[in-house]
Amino acid sequence: MTGRLAGKIAIVFGAGSSGPGWGNGKAAAVAYAREGAGVACIDLNQAAADETAAIIASEGGTAIALAADVTKQPSIDACVAATVARLGRIDILHNNVGVTHMGGPVELSEEQYQAALDLNLGPVYRCSKAVIPEMLKGGGGAIVNISSIAAIRWVGYPYFAYYATKAAVNQATVALAMQYARQGIRANCIMPGLIDTPMIYKQISGQYASADEMVAARDALVPMGKMGTAWDIANAAVFLASDEAKFITGVCLPVDGGQTCSVGAMG
C-alpha cells in the first residue's frame, strides 16, 4: 500500500464476484481499499458484496456492503444516499456491471438485447446520474467505467449486443469527461482484453468443448501468451482514480496484453 487514495471514498458497482476467485469488480474494490480509500461495495447479490467488504475489513480497511439492482434508479439512489450517510461523500465511481449474451440480431431475443442495454450501458447512465451531484458537492471526482476491447475490435465471439453496448460505454465516458472537465470530474474507461475471471466460466465457456480448451484458446490469442487477471484491471483502475492521473480524462485504456495491436490475435 502506498496510500495513493488515502482519504478518498469509492463506490464500486459490481463489487462482488460471480463465482469463486477474483472478478474485476471485487479486485478493484479491494485494490482501492489497499490504497487507502473507504469503499462502498455494491452488488446485486448482498452476500457477494458482504464477502468483498469482509476482505477489506480483514485487511484493516473501511468498507460497507450494500445490495442494488443497477437497472433500477431508486435502488442506485438508495445506495448512493447510504454511502454518503455512512462514509461522508463519494470521490470515485467505479462501474463494473455487465453481461454477455451470445448471438447476432437474428439469434438474440428481445429480452437479451434489452438486458445488454440495461446491464452494460444503463449503469453508466444511472450511476452517473446519482453520483455526479455528490461529486460536484465535493469539488470533483473520478469515474472509472469498465468497457471491453470488444468496443473497438471483433474478438472472435458472436455477441452483437455486447459489441454495441461496450462501444456506447466508450463514447458515454468521453461525453462525461468533456461535459464535466471544468468542474473537476474526470471520466475514463478501461477496456479489458481476455481476462481470466469467474464470469468467463459462466458466460463464455459454452463456446468451447471444455473449460480447459477455453483457457488454452484464449491464452493463445494474447500476444503476451496468457490471459490477464482481475488484478491487472484493478491496478489500472487505481491509477486512473488516483491523483497520478489528474491530467488524464476521456481515455479508453486497453488492458489486453497487446491484443488490440495484433491483427493475428483477433480470431
Pick the closest to residue 165 from 231, 241, 112, 203 (CA basis): 112
Beta-carbon contacts of residue 186 (< 8 Å; ≥ 6 apart): 140, 141, 142, 143, 177, 240, 245, 246, 248, 249
Q: Is 158 left (phi over 0), alpha (psi -120 to 50) or beta?
A: beta
**Cα(51)–Cα(43) distance, integer angstroms:** 11
Other CB atoms within 10 Å distance of the CB of residue 229: 16
Measure the CA–CA gap between 70 and 25, rounded to whole angstroms.
Answer: 14
* Contact between residue 144 and residue 90 where contact means Cβ atoms under 8 Å apart: no
Check if 162 is active-site: yes
How far is CA 230 from each of CA 73, 117, 255, rounded to the nearest angstrom?
28, 24, 11
Whether the CB-CB separation of 1 and 31 falls below 8 Å is answered with: no
Whether 73 and 129 have beta carbons less than 8 Å apart is answered as: yes
Q: Are 232 and 185 in contact (CB under 8 A)?
A: no
Q: Which residue among 32, 125, 159, 162 is the active-site one?
A: 162
Name the strands in the sheet holding 185-192, side by side, starting at the edge strand that comes first in the sequence.
63-67, 38-43, 9-13, 92-95, 141-146, 185-192, 252-255
- Residues annotated as catalytic (active site), given as ranges: 162
